[in-house]
Structure 1
């Protein structure tokens, strides 16, 4: 115990040294002599944010090390070890099927993979059950999630943006964190009325009450970079997005400090690998802070969906828009994750809503190439159309990625191959995207399924959305953390934002019940995009007929299973009996 106490003391000292180093870096961000008064104030506030970051880092690190060293809990690791062994067996069986040279060998591999799959699910359930009990680690997660949430709310800006992203990593992070951070999606810290007035006057040349017919002082929502006020402009109800004051001056420094803090924490806890979250945000933050650019994105998205009555994009009013103020038409709706409200109050089917979301974003990705990459719950509203169908309202158009045609079509080929379990196609497209020999891991990352499920889709009869599957996915993420980092380093930069978009869409789908057959939706979009590019009608019809057959079979089986469970039949089960297609669609 004495030795452990000494280690704890050294750890605390080390954490505080790291904290002081982080604080020192913040102090080094002192303004130069030519800085404006507003800039001086903003950068001085950045020093305070760095101090809070440093202090929180030290406390969180010490808390986790204390649990690691002093807990009397002798947690049964047997379930976790059995899960790891079952996963290894599952991987081997997947390779056996992939490399089978005849039908008999493939059938033997399929049987072995089926047994391994059952073992993985069984041990995942055991790990999930073990994790459901209150343990010192659960308690530590809850304490530290609260601390980091407080830090994000106190510091705002970049800190809230990182928390928003982490809130959607429910397949990767402990639930204590995703639950705590979820409040940041639409209820971040709010700017004072004085700050709002100052920003509006600096940008539009008049006080809010002068620039608008009416302007509500209390914001209706606040996010990481801005908050939204309801107003009236030239007789029309509008939503006015006002950037948090000082954010433009300090965001780059704040992001650098967050990156440094993540690095320090990674040194203390080698299993902690979240640098990629910061790396995703950094290159695009300046563009997100330019509301003129966001207005242009909004107009282009509206043009893309002008013939889609079920997708609405707010109208932008340029006369009342500038770099830090964006004025748009007022568009009511319900947060896209509120399943009960969507079903009970709007009278809409959450599954139909999820399908519409998947269809809209698949169209942006595979057809338009100008992709909204931040569809978190607060940015996708739902309402009933006049015809009584689900209607989406797409908000927050600051984070977009323009996909070049070569990448867009290769991305479509990859997803088509994934939907059809076409291993050669998966390998070829993944290699074209720079992944190389890590294509099995890349496929697993994209589909959230083990490789043997990808190559043997008939083994996965139902979509997995339970606690056991969460435990299995977290185990895979920890086991292949280094390899995942390598994959993220290899892929084109434009792909990183698509992965972020996928995290957001996956979170929405899970919140709405997780029963949408997104593989079918994606495969339809891919087939349509590839046909538009190469015009190969025969091959296109072959793929579409397969997909329609899958949907019919899924609907037929779903009707029979509806009384027993809510999960829908997944695309992979339906694809297993069909021959692989050639490379061109």
Structure 2
């Protein structure tokens, strides 16, 4: 019991790509001694709590077994035994206190964990969600001091180059050193915001805050104020007449376009950075994308392999799943890699992830296996290309949003991904072809494939609509009469 619970606690760290120090010597110049000590102490207390609190609960006992109940909406909820739940809650509260005390990268870690509804125990996600919108804030005096220094003098200022984070990433220290300083450069964030707004301007439901460059520096970024509800706040959407399925579908379109078509990916879509709002005049629902400090730029070869892998996953083409998973560094762990990408069981991957909705039993299986396969997950994360690491984080956060909105069973996200993969691969093939005939053939094949997806989507819509039921009944009667 204690061993399995500890795996869940370890998963909370692994899911965010954190490695708690290991055997590496920590230089006090790179890491605050107080913060390091606080983190080590918190980790020790949590570990001790799991070991001592659960030592007398034997595996397979009545207390250990999960209790299942059916809620009013027919969705199966799984509750762990009371004792385990209490330990989870105490541990989550300690993690939240640690994040608030240490701030910086710890806050980002807590925000990530708070979004993983589909993966972590509910006690963790519920406790850490407050960091999405109620993270510790700088005092007015601290903000005014920065503004005075950067905007109030005719002087050159030293650029802060202190290495972050206070935790060492399991997904390689080099990635943290490369990416986190970019997040601290507000001019870089402003440029990213304008780039993605231009890149995705065809999506009229997307809002990106305008940047006021004349009042911005590396440490001060002045942008347009935008407000709304968090993208995982289902109650807010229902209260304001916002269709959760439309929001989930549009969010999938945004990220599919960024990942597969453009290769320029916003890598921090936790619910505090993605807001939704309904325009009172037009009645249109918008997605507001904030915090543009961290983007992943995908190489063309990586992007094409990733596109083809997703095409194989959607088609349940296991030979190609194995081929492109191996090309992306998964090796013999390609089944685990496929499950991590899709957040589905291996059985569902083999059957076709768009063919069957996520069931309650499969959801339990995914949560259990995530803890059981932690060593293999760690090995896999160390083997895949560096570009894959932030994509996995992005995937985690998007799946968490879908879980909170109860839209994970929808096939629309996979259809949108299919469209983007087809467009991306076709564009790449045309760019490499010197034959007019070949380019025309590629374009016709692309158009046919997109048309087939549209037709399939229409079929799904008809199947679920009253009109579809009438058509099916009418055709059935016609068949029997003949």
TM-score (norm 1): 0.66
Q: Which moved more, 1:505-514 or 1:156-165?
A: 505-514
Q: Deviations over 1:24-55 (max 9, x none)?
A: 977x6269xxxxxxxxxxx8xx3332332233
- Taking the aligned partners of 1:328 and 1:358, their CA distance within structure 2 comes to 25
Does residue 430 of structure 1 match 2:325? Answer: yes
The aligned counterpart of 1:163 is 110
- Taking the aligned partners of 2:116 and 2:177, their CA distance within structure 1 comes to 19
The aligned counterpart of 1:489 is 382
Does residue 372 of structure 1 match 2:266? Answer: yes
- Structure whose CA Rg is larger: 1
Contact 1:383 1:391 in 2 (8 A): yes
Relative contact order, higher structure (CA 8 A, sep 6+): 2
Q: In the TM superposition, what is the alpha-carbon distance from 1:300 to its structure 2 partner?
A: 0.6
1:49 to 28, 35, 51: 35
- Taking the aligned partners of 1:511 and 1:78, their CA distance within structure 2 comes to 26
- Taking the aligned partners of 1:196 and 1:512, their CA distance within structure 2 comes to 36
Q: Deviations over 1:257-297 (max 9, x none)?
A: xx6xxxxxxxxxxxxxxx44988655411111111111111
2:445 to 539, 556, 574: 539
The aligned counterpart of 1:469 is 362
The aligned counterpart of 1:319 is 214
Contact 2:179 2:294 in 1 (8 A): yes
2:248 to 354, 358, 371: 354
Q: Deviations over 1:341-385 (max 9, x none)?
A: 22322x221100110110011111111111111111111111235
Contact 2:183 2:189 in 1 (8 A): yes
- Taking the aligned partners of 2:64 and 2:188, their CA distance within structure 1 comes to 54
Q: In the TM superposition, what is the alpha-carbon distance from 1:403 to its structure 2 partner?
A: 1.0
The aligned counterpart of 2:89 is 142
Runs of 4+ in structure 1 over 3 Å off = 70-74, 76-80, 247-251, 275-283, 560-563
- Taking the aligned partners of 1:280 and 1:511, their CA distance within structure 2 comes to 29
Work out the number of aligned pairs and report it: 422
The aligned counterpart of 1:214 is none
The aligned counterpart of 1:67 is 53
TM-score (norm 2): 0.79
The aligned counterpart of 2:461 is 555
Q: Map 1:269-284 to 2 at 5 A.
A: 275-276=170-171, 281=176, 283-284=178-179
- Taking the aligned partners of 1:177 and 1:280, their CA distance within structure 2 comes to 26
Secondary structure in 2 aligned to 1:327? coil
The aligned counterpart of 2:336 is 441
Structure in which a larger fraction of residues adopt helix: 1
Q: Map 1:491-530 to 2 at 5 A.
A: 491-514=384-407, 515-516=409-410, 517-530=412-425
Stretches of structure 1 that go unaligned for 5 or more consecutive residues are: 1-20, 32-42, 81-127, 207-246, 260-274, 564-585
Q: Measured at CA, do residues 404 and 250 of structure 1 come closer, stay the same or move farther in structure 2, by a change above 3 Å?
A: closer
- Taking the aligned partners of 1:53 and 1:171, their CA distance within structure 2 comes to 26
Does residue 179 of structure 1 match 2:126? Answer: yes
The aligned counterpart of 1:29 is 28
Contact 1:158 1:251 in 2 (8 A): no
Secondary structure in 1 aligned to 2:218? coil
Q: Measured at CA, do residues 248 and 51 of structure 1 come closer, stay the same or move farther in structure 2, by a change above 3 Å?
A: farther
- Taking the aligned partners of 1:413 and 1:73, their CA distance within structure 2 comes to 43
Q: Which moved more, 1:336-345 or 1:413-422?
A: 336-345
Contact 1:255 1:278 in 2 (8 A): no
Q: Deviations over 1:309-340 (max 9, x none)?
A: 21111111111111111111122322111222
Q: Measured at CA, do residues 25 and 198 of structure 1 come closer, stay the same or move farther in structure 2, by a change above 3 Å?
A: farther
- Taking the aligned partners of 1:368 and 1:277, their CA distance within structure 2 comes to 25
Secondary structure in 1 aligned to 2:106? helix
Q: Measured at CA, do residues 75 and 170 of structure 1 come closer, stay the same or move farther in structure 2, by a change above 3 Å?
A: farther
Q: Deviations over 1:414-439 (max 9, x none)?
A: 11111111222222222221222322
- Taking the aligned partners of 1:79 and 1:552, their CA distance within structure 2 comes to 43
Secondary structure in 2 aligned to 1:392? strand
Q: Map 1:47-446 to 2 at 5 A.
A: 47-71=33-57, 75-76=61-62, 132-205=79-152, 252=164, 254-256=166-168, 275-276=170-171, 281=176, 283-345=178-240, 347-385=241-279, 387-446=282-341
- Taking the aligned partners of 1:513 and 1:149, their CA distance within structure 2 comes to 25
Q: Measured at CA, do residues 495 and 477 of structure 1 come closer, stay the same or move farther in structure 2, by a change above 3 Å?
A: same
Contact 2:230 2:272 in 1 (8 A): yes
CA RMSD of aligned residues (A): 3.2
- Taking the aligned partners of 1:188 and 1:496, their CA distance within structure 2 comes to 25
- Taking the aligned partners of 2:380 and 2:59, their CA distance within structure 1 comes to 36
